[in-house]
Structure 1
Amino acid sequence: MGLLADRTRSRWGKFRPWVLFGALPFGIVCVLAYSTPDLSMNGKMIYAAIIYTLLTLLYTVVNIPYCALGGVITNDPTQRISLQSWRFVLATAGGMLSTVLMMPLVNLIGGDNKPLGFQGGIAVLSVVAFMMLAFCFFTTKERVEAPPTTTSMREDLRDIWQNDQWRIVGLLTIFNILAVCVRGGAMMYYVTWILGTPEVFVAFLTTYCVGNLIGSALAKPLTDWKCKVTIFWWTNALLAVISLAIFFVPMQASITMFVFIFVIGVLHQLVTPIQWVMMSDTVDYGEWCNGKRLTGISFAGTLFVLKLGLAFGGALIGWMLAYGGYDAAEKAQNRATISIIIAPFTIVPAICYLLSAIIAKRYYSLTTHNLKTVMEQLAQGKRRCQQQFTSQEVQN
């Protein structure tokens, strides 16, 4: 999808057309995914497989260009931070709102007929999503123009892989998504078996989401004060310390854990907008190195490794619980199982955050000063010497 977007030429730009024209099919398939046709069981299985495949495909068609827009609406790093900060503030608020409204919509539309209620509820959300995506199309403009792409897709893939800063951001993406995915997957088990209060799970998750909302809003003012790369690795280091500290919190210390999960929500979502801006920065760096602005494939590649991290994180939870002998039917878990439940909520995220901090501090070179040099030379039509990617520091 990234390769296709990079090769799109239209009066609306490279990415905005995909957002608009993919929105309606995506909304329709969302409704179909919550529809139950009058078929045999095998027919329903085939239907589900086809619709789910279409759903993920159309999500990709819309989402990759949408994500890439952050790199072409402006080339000002400060404005990019503001853009991504607002994006995640509103995305978090939208996610919380849709979660809160879904069941009332189901009951209002379907009453006792839950399948009809869910179909109607998703239809309402799909209409809202279409309107928001159309609003995005009509109110944005692609200001950063890329030179025409004349190379093959194979050469583009080679060039993006040779971009050392892109590879570093990809690695950071894997570790950060692993941290949030593993902890999120273990959250219900932790609240149930460690805190011993499964009834507070919704409140626990809501506290984390409220922290996310605040963290997204803090990204802009903090990066105005300090270099975003410094903020990124320091925040990840702090997340590693806090995640490890939770390991030593006594069982059933619910109030303490609410405080911890709120702080983690703030800090994790603080680095998320920064990380997305770092993705855009690697595109500028790539253009400076070889004259090719590969925005679409850069974001597509990063989203690909993000999905790999999600898949591995989800599988890791299952592997760890199976290894620890977890049995949902038991009224009490043994000591080994309890330790296994605690580990993905504390130790695994701590390791991921620590690795992210070390990698960002040691290997990511596009600091505010260095990126300013890159942008100035791009504006002057200059390129890096020998037009090759290297892992050396950017020099004036």
Structure 2
Amino acid sequence: MDKRMETKWPERISYGLSDAADNLVFQVMTTYLLFFYTDVYGLKPGAVAILFVVARIADTLESLLIGLMIDRTHSRFGKSRPFFLWYALPYVVFAVLTFITPDFSETGKLVWAYATYLGLGFFYTAVNVPITSVLPTMTQNERELTLLGVIRQFCGSSVQIVVAVFTLPLVAFFGQGNQKMGFLLTIIAFGIISLILILNTFFHIRERHTIKEISHQPLKKVMQMLWRNKQWLIISVVIFLYWLVTSIKNQTTIYYFKYVLHDEGLVPWANSFTLAALIGVLLIMHLTSSRSKKKTMQIGIILAFGGQCILSIGVYSGLLPVLFGGILFNSIGHGIIVGLVSIMIADTIRYGMAMGIQAEGVLASTDDFGVNLGLGFGGLVTAGLFHVAGYLPNHAQNTATLHMININYVWLPLIIYIMMMAVLHFYDEEKMQHAIKNKHVAN
């Protein structure tokens, strides 16, 4: 394995900032869009639940489509890199359109939400899948791949925290009591920064390792490779479960503090403890220096589960310091898990190359596929359960709704963490790394 580093720090930082750019908009969408649709724009929770399901179904198909487009791209800029140039502006435009609130009828509002949100989902996929697909083409150095993945996630997690902590204060500042205007001006500010950062990534990164003989294989051969690539299948399920639990927790947070604790102002404080995710991300380089990525991710899941247990004690005892402490430890675990995702996907791409198929677009699309599927089911679970319980926006909630909020905020995440650990058990990292090093896969 080549020990020489192939990238310089300006390129590494520019690569990492691509995830920061996407997350400026993406985290507003995942954390606050359900609240925006129900409590600001006035859509019914049941209608929003259906919208989220439709959008996620569309997004999962789009993930594969974008992956196929990458694998069939012939450009002087490479296969993945041109997508940052082509789709950055449409992504930002649709982000802004999603938070525009025209005074339509109830049906008109729902049609507008479908058109803008589905468009945003497509263009998000177009600028997000290339972040993962380009990674294994930037370097073949094992530690450098891990370093680049850590830098990416550090930048992405930093922005997630910025969005989680400052979105509502910015909405209040820009809106001056008008949440519609506040959300719109906030997303415009985030969108401008996002556009600059995505274009910066395009100009500063390079694709170095594309093997022409195996980089544009027929779809039939690619699908055969996917079926044989068991580690890719397993990590894909883990990614789905991670984003499922993240969606449920993030979307329920504002409802918990607004309707259970009756203090919406605590949301930025609670979200500020997710800063601990950066600790988890930074621990990856140290932990993977002496253990496998699989074992490192298992440590992350254990920490996330333990933090969720502490959070549950805080919820049922009413002790805010305990609840916040649970969020802190849970976030450290989340940082480890999500920081390893793109790195482990890059390993499965290199595993595919060892099989004679370089299909980084399709393989990387599983990252976005898992995000979209997880968010879709998470939105369905959250909005659907609230609808069944009789949730009424901006009113005191009935006992059934308060119970549903606690189930979403406490118990469902605990179950999902156990499922993640069970699935990851079957990930055979040793077999995959042996094949990569020896450039062949035993059938």
Instruction: State the TM-score, normalizing by the size of structure 2.
Output: 0.74
Paired with 2:166 and 2:419, the residues of 1 have a C-alpha distance of 38
1:384 is matched with 441
Closer/same/farther in 2, CA of residues 106 and 179 from structure 1, 3 Å limit? closer
Shift of 1:17: 0.7
Q: Which of 79, 87, 102 is matched with 2:144 structurally?
A: 79
1:30 to 71, 95, 105: 95
Contact conserved, 1:195 with 1:254, CA < 8 A, in 2?
A: no
Tell me, in whole angstroms, the C-alpha distance in 2 between the residues paired with 1:273 and 1:107: 32
**Counterpart-to-counterpart distance in 2, 1:324 and 1:107:** 30
Of 22-31 and 86-95, deviating more is 22-31
- Pair 1:375-2:436 in alignment: yes
Distance 1:14 1:329, change over 3 A: closer
1:233 is paired with a residue whose SS is helix
Whole-Å separation in 2 of the counterparts to 1:122 and 1:195: 28
1:348 and 2:412 correspond: yes
Whether 2:312 is the aligned partner of 1:274: answer no
Q: Structure 2: state its 5+ residue gaps.
A: 1-65
Q: Residue 184 in 1 paired to residue 254 in 2?
A: no
Structure showing greater radius of gyration is 1
Report how far residue 232 of structure 1 moved: 0.9
Identify the residue that residue 69 of structure 1 maps to in structure 2: 134
CA distance, structure 2, for counterparts of residue 186 and residue 83 of structure 1 = 32
What number of residue pairs does the alignment pair up? 376
Say whether residues 1:18 and 2:83 are aligned partners.
Answer: yes
Instruction: Tell me if structure 2 keeps the 8 A contact 1:284–1:375.
Output: yes
State the 1:97 CA deviation. 3.7
Code of the aligned partner of 2:428: S
For 2:418, what is the secondary structure of its paired residue? helix
Q: Equivalents in 1 of 2:333, 2:427: separation in Å?
A: 20
Distance between the aligned counterparts of 1:141 and 1:8, measured in 2?
15
**Partners of 2:159 and 2:244 in 1: how far apart?**
23
Of 215, 230, 245, which aligns to 1:164? 230
> CA distance change for structure 1 residues 25 and 190 in 2, over 3 Å: closer, same or farther?
closer
Distance 2:308 2:392 in 1: 26
Distance in 2, Cα, partners of 1:317 & 1:81: 34
- Flag structure 1 segments of 5+ consecutive residues without an equivalent: 389-396
Q: 1:209-288 to 2 correspondence within 5 Å?
A: 210-249=275-314, 250-288=316-354
Cα deviation digits, residues 195-228 of structure 1 (max 9, x gap):
56443122112212x1223222222222223222
1:265 is aligned with what amino acid?
Answer: S
Q: Map 1:285-296 onto structure 2 (within 5 A).
A: 285-288=351-354, 290-296=355-361
TM superposition score normalised by structure 1: 0.82
> 1:281 is matched by which residue type in structure 2?
D
The residue type equivalent to 2:134 in the other structure is L
CA RMSD in angstroms comes to 3.3
* Residue correspondence of structure 1 range 281-320 to structure 2 within 5 A: 281-288=347-354, 290-320=355-385
- The 1:138/1:185 distance shift into structure 2, 3 A limit, reads same
Q: How far apart, in 1, do the equivalents of 2:264 and 2:170 lie?
A: 25
Query: In structure 1, what is the Cα distance between the partners aligned to 2:347 and 2:267?
Result: 38
**Displacement, 1:116?**
6.8
Q: For 1:42-57, what aligned pairs fall within 5 Å after superposition?
A: 49-57=114-122
Whole-Å separation in 2 of the counterparts to 1:177 and 1:105? 26
- Say whether the 8 Å CA contact 1:286–1:293 is kept in structure 2: yes
List per-residue Cα deviations over 1:97-130 (Å, max 9, x = no partner).
Answer: 4566667877888889986776555444333222
User: Could you tell me whether the CA contact under 8 Å between 1:29 and 1:54 is conserved in 2?
Assistant: yes
Moved more, 146-155 or 222-231: 146-155
**What amino acid sits opposite 1:61 in the alignment?**
A
